Amino acid sequence: MSEYRYYEFAAVDRPLTPEHQGDLDGRIETIDGRPRFDFSWSGFDENDPVSGRGWLRASGEQAEGRIFIHLGDDSELKAERRT
């Protein structure tokens, strides 16, 4: 069974411009008995193509996870539901 959801991401300090936008493809998986959104992404960094993967786990109005740049760094990811 597939679950389709709509997510919108925005920068906290500025509007997203076309060079800050990209593609995201993901699935809700069950890891350790809890749902988690696993995804791959692609976009641009200073006009250079970049891609990677990540995961996000929601808890109430917040979510935490990790984002990985292909052949590069990884970083903690935190998100809040916008009201």
pLDDT confidence of residue 45 = 81
pTM of the entire predicted model: 0.73
Compute the average pLDDT of residues 40-49: 86
pLDDT digits 0-9 by tens, 4-31: 555 566 666 777 777 777 888 999 999 8
Compute the average pLDDT of residues 56-65: 90
pLDDT confidence of residue 5 = 57
Per-residue DSSP letters for 39-57?
EEEEEEETTEEEEEEEEEE
pLDDT confidence of residue 51 = 95
